[in-house]
Every structure is written in C-alpha cells, then in structure tokens.
Chains A and B, each alone.
Chain A
Amino acid sequence: MASLIHFYTYLPVYIAHLFGFETGPMNYGWAWTFSQVTLIGVFEVVLLVSIAFWILADRKIWAAVQMRRGPNVVGIFGLLQTFADAMKFMFKESIIPAGANKVIFILAPVITTTLAFAGWAVVPLDNGWVVADINVGVLYLFAVSSLGVYGVIMGGWASNSKYPFLAALRSAAQMVSYEVSIGFVIITVLLFAGSLNLSAIVHAQEHGWFAFSILFPMFVIFFISALAETQRPPFDLLEAESELVAGFMVEYSATPFLLYFLGEYVNIILLCAVMSILFLGGWLPPVFWPHDWLPGLTAALYAVPGIIWFMFKIVAMFFMVSMVKTFVPRYRYDQLMRLGWKVFLPISLAWVVVTAAWVQFVRPSWDAFFAPLLGG
C-alpha cells in the first residue's frame, strides 16, 4: 500500500526523466487515489477469476463424495467449466417479467454482487496487504453482510410474483436471525483482541489462535451461522430444490442470475476469509509454541509468505463448507429458526459474559502464570 503510493508519487518524475524534462512528484491525494484504484482493480480481477475455480472445487468435492467425476469435459479436468457456464449465462437473453418493477429487478442482483465484493475491502491478505485499513473493519464487514438481505428482498419483491416474494421473506428472515448470533460472536472476538481493526485482531493471535482458546464454541457457532447467512446447505431453504422452484431467483435468468450466483460465492469465500482472520490467525503461520523454543522451525514457518498461509486457511474453511453441503440433510424452516433463536442466541449471549469475565479477571493471572514458561 505505502509502496504503491510511493510508486505513483514518483511515477511522473520517472516518466518526465525518460522524455528528458523535469517535473515534481505527484501530490499525495492523487497518488493515493491512483493506488487505491489499482489495488481495487487487482482485487476484483483476482477474485473474479478465482471464483470460477472455487465453484469448480465445490462441484468437484460434491461429486467426489457421491463417487461421481464432476465436471470433466470443458478443459483439462473440467477446469474451464465455470467459464463455459458464465459464457452461456452472459449470451442468453435476460428476461424481465411483465409487471416486474424493472429498475429494482435489475438493481437487486447488482446490489448483491457489489456488497459481496465491497466486503473484501477491509480483509488483510498479509501484514499490511489491505485496501482499506480502517479502525472499524469488523463493524464494516458486519454492516456489509447485514445489507446483503436487500438484494434478496428487492429481487423477490420486484419479480411481481407470489413464489419469489414468499421465498424472499423466508430467506430475509433467515439472514436477519443469524446475523444476531454472528454479531455476538464478533463481540467475543473483539473482547479478546481489544480492537475492531482486522489486522490488529490477527496480530493479537500471534501467541495462540482464538480457535484454540475459550472462544472455540464461538468458532463453531460462527461457522454454522455463516452457512445460514450465505444460504448454503443445510440451510439453503430459499432454493430447496425438492420443495420450491428456485426461491427468490425464480424469475431471474441470464446475466442477472449470474450476478446473484457470483455474489453468493464471493460471499462464501469472504466468510471463509473472515473465519480465518477472526479465529485462525489470518496470515500467521501455525506456530503454537513460544517463538524461542524451536527457533529453526519457527523461522522456517515464518519465512513462508503470509498470504500463502491465509490461502491455505481459506481453502481449508471452504473445504469444510463444501463438505457440509454433501452430507448434512437440509433443515426444516422451523428447525432453522429454533436453532438460530433458541440455541445460538442464548449460547453466544452467555459466552459474551463468560469471555468478558475471562478477559477481565482470569486472563491477567493466566498470562502471569505462563509468562515465565513462555519466556515473556
């Protein structure tokens, strides 16, 4: 980030030098703007291309569990399957139903996709590799994910048909319910890390990931709530193939449908990344011992670029999300609501109190007890 700004600041000087005249460095505001635009562009392109392979991985894992081969025709191992699908969607005619509210009908998938991408702005891929290193990163993510519900409601309403509308209400209620417990889980993490900044949360895990502390139950709750929030199986009630047609997306076709699909997967990867940051130490290597115990191994693990560890963690989380889809039967709607309001909400609420008590009363003496042992 800083080096990118530096690059743009002195770019005019180099160019001027090349053509044999003199000029001053670029002013900070413009250099910042250019570097932000570059970063965002790189993020978008990399994400978009990688989504193609995430979707393929999802289908391949699903196929492997069911002892099928999965997509294997387009490209070697079916690597280009998603691109072929995307082409198919893009070249079809997008049908807007008669009586639909045109503007909102088109706007809804755009909102879903935009929000899914917007969330990535605060995700640190490595130490300092982040588009917007804002103080309230976690809150921003929470805000963006709570807005995701609008894409669903607007799409369902604008279709001007009963089935999408009912499905939209259903899935909106589902997303709103699970956001509550996600909020409380985030609060417990904040209590542990003492900051709302995602990079600071990762740094707070240098001596132990939050998943391996008393926050472990919260990790589990967050994982399940994330499945519900992104409408993944076993909570994919909005498009339960066996009962409904396709939820709020019934009337969508071609590119608008593609946008919904894309937004859904970007959201899933985003939540995998958030889980890795909040509980699995983000870009940190798996060093669970004091850093001076095994200096060689520690140094070797730290020598691997952080982004690789981060990618490993995202892949691991995505693998779990994908496996859940293959072997957990779908929940019924009342069971889903019961789980969200009667199980997760009380547990996470109680855990906020437990965590606060731990941080205030137990952790100081805990740290003092282990400090000599850890050489700190």
Chain B
Amino acid sequence: MILQAIAFYIFAAILIGSGFMVVTARNPVHSVLFLILAFFNAAALFVLLGAEFLAMILVVVYVGAVAVLFLFVVMMLNVDFAELKKGAKQYLMPGLMVGGLLALELIFVVALRWNFAATAVKGAATPAGISNTAALGHILYTDYIFYFQTAGLILLVAMIGAIVLTLRKRPGVRRQKAGEQVNRTPQQSMEVVDIKPGQGA
C-alpha cells in the first residue's frame, strides 16, 4: 500500500507540474512534449485505479495519435507564440478569477475526503472473473449501443467532411496505376523485331 501511495503522489505531482509547464513553456514544442508527459501520468493514475483499459486507450489515442498531430502542426507552422502571448496580460485578472473559482469548487468537493492516495489506490470495484475491458464492452454494446453508434457516426461524418473539403481533382495529372502496371503483358509493351544485317539505324 505504501508503494502505491508513493507512486500516486509521484504521478500526481508530475502530472500537475507538467500541466503547469504546458501553459508556461516558452517553446511550443516543449509545451506539446509536456502535454504528452501529462497524458502519460494521467494514464499511470488510471492504472493505479485499476482501469488498465482506459489507461492504454489514453496512451494509444492521445499520446500515439492526437499529440503526434499537435507536434506536426506546431513544428511545421512555426507560430510565433511570443507574439500571441503579448496581449495575455490583460486577461490575467479574469483568468485568475475563473481559475481560482474552479480550484475553490474542487477543494469544496474533495475537502471531505482529503486522503487522495488512499482513495485512488483503493481502486474501482472489480468483480472477480471480469476484466474491466470486458465490463466496458458489455456496457458499451448493450445499454449504450445507440449513443456509441451515434458517436461513431458523427466521427465518420467529420472524417468524410475533411476528405471532401481537401480533395481536389486536377486534370492532366499522371498517376501510377498499380493494377494496370501489374496486368501489363510483354506483348502489350514490347515488340521483338528481327533486323537484317545492314538494315536499321
């Protein structure tokens, strides 16, 4: 139990620290890298809770795919973040107020059970014999099947929309057609000519 408590505090501290660095880092690429570190530690906290499926999906989806896209964009666009941040000072007071309010609410919610580590380590109620992957599957594909399918459909529409928006047909562009190439026979593409001596060029 003591090991898990230590692990919890380490992960939680790094999570908060890297979250802070995401906002404050000068270099946007560093920001994204700290964001990845934050995702990682969140996944570790999920593991401590016994929600290993959620942890792995968090890493696969957010770290393995979403953050890669962030990195791509941030690295290639060369956005001048110092310029963007110039006017940030005037938002300082409202920002601090909203943030402080949220923090206050959080404190009110958790103040009654202040011992995070013990709560976090206790873990979810996992019935014996069912892994939480199977349990999630059972719930998603029975009780919430329509919501699940709707979410999938919305994503599909978004995907097709993106493809339609970026697709452009340029006439006159020669593309490689692998099927045609593979199906080509020697008869179609070459001719054996018997040239008599003294003829030909």
Q: Mark B111-140, 1 if CB is under 8 A from A, else 0.
A: 000000000000000000001110000000
Measured between beta carbons, the chain B residues less than 8 angstroms from A154 are 33
Q: Is the CB of B63 within 8 A of A146?
A: yes
Q: Is the CB of A150 within 8 A of B131?
A: no
Q: Is the CB of A176 within 8 A of B65?
A: yes
Task: Say which one of A134-142, A208-216, A278-286 lies at the interface with B.
Answer: A134-142
Give bound CA distance, A140 to B59, whole Å. 9
Pairs across A and B, CB under 8 Å, 29 listed: A29-B2, A104-B29, A104-B33, A135-B133, A136-B52, A139-B56, A139-B57, A140-B56, A142-B60, A143-B59, A143-B63, A143-B64, A146-B59, A146-B64, A147-B59, A147-B64, A150-B36, A150-B68, A150-B71, A153-B68, A153-B71, A157-B29, A157-B71, A169-B72, A172-B68, A172-B72, A176-B65, A196-B131, A196-B133
Q: Is the CB of A146 within 8 A of B65?
A: yes
Measured between beta carbons, the chain B residues less than 8 angstroms from A104 are 29, 33
Q: Is the CB of A143 within 8 A of B60?
A: yes
Partner of B68, one of A29, A101, A149, A165: A149
Partner of B53, one of A29, A33, A136, A153: A136
Measured between beta carbons, the chain B residues less than 8 angstroms from A176 are 65, 68
Q: Is the CB of A146 within 8 A of B60?
A: yes
Contact residue range for chain B?
20 to 34
Q: Mark A99-141, 1 if CB is under 8 A from B, else 0.
A: 0010010000000000000000000000000000011100110
Give bound CA distance, A231 to B164, whole Å. 31
Secondary structure class of chain B's binding surface, majority of residues: helix
B3 at the interface (CB under 8 A from A): yes
Give bound CA distance, A334 to B75, whole Å. 23
Q: Shortest Cβ distance from A74 into chain B, in angstroms?
A: 40
List A residues at the B interface (Cβ < 8 Å).
Answer: 29, 33, 101, 104, 134-136, 139-140, 142-143, 146-147, 149-150, 153-154, 157, 165, 169, 172, 176, 179, 196, 334-335, 338
> Which A-chain residue is minimally distant from B60 (CB atoms)?
A143
Measured between beta carbons, the chain B residues less than 8 angstroms from A29 are 1-3
Measured between beta carbons, the chain B residues less than 8 angstroms from A147 are 59, 63-64
B178 at the interface (CB under 8 A from A): yes
Q: Is the CB of A335 within 8 A of B176?
A: yes
Give bound CA distance, A165 to B52, whole Å. 35
Measured between beta carbons, the chain A residues less than 8 angstroms from B29 are 101, 104, 157
Measured between beta carbons, the chain A residues less than 8 angstroms from B33 are 104, 154
> Which B-chain residue is minimally distant from A179 (CB atoms)?
B64
Give bound CA distance, A154 to B27, whole Å. 14
> Which B-chain residue is minimally distant from A103 (CB atoms)?
B30
Give bound CA distance, A369 to B1, whole Å. 51
> Which B-chain residue is minimally distant from A156 (CB atoms)?
B75
Q: Shortest Cβ distance from A180 into chain B, in angstroms?
A: 9
Partner of B56, one of A33, A136, A172, A334: A136
Measured between beta carbons, the chain A residues less than 8 angstroms from B132 are 135
Measured between beta carbons, the chain A residues less than 8 angstroms from B65 are 146, 176
Partner of B3, one of A33, A153, A196, A338: A33
Measured between beta carbons, the chain A residues less than 8 angstroms from B131 are 135-136, 196
Measured between beta carbons, the chain B residues less than 8 angstroms from A136 are 52-53, 56, 131, 133
Measured between beta carbons, the chain A residues less than 8 angstroms from B68 are 149-150, 153, 172, 176
Measured between beta carbons, the chain A residues less than 8 angstroms from B76 are 169
Q: Shortest Cβ distance from B66 into chain A, in angstroms?
A: 11
Give bound CA distance, A165 to B29, whole Å. 14
The 3 closest A-B pairs by CB, nearest first: A146-B64, A139-B56, A143-B59
Give bound CA distance, A69 to B59, whole Å. 45
Besides A136-B56, A139-B53, A196-B131, 20 other A-B contacts (C-beta < 8 A): A104-B33, A135-B53, A136-B52, A139-B56, A139-B57, A139-B60, A143-B64, A146-B59, A147-B63, A150-B36, A153-B71, A153-B75, A154-B33, A165-B75, A169-B72, A172-B68, A172-B72, A176-B65, A176-B68, A179-B64
Partner of B178, one of A33, A153, A172, A338: A338
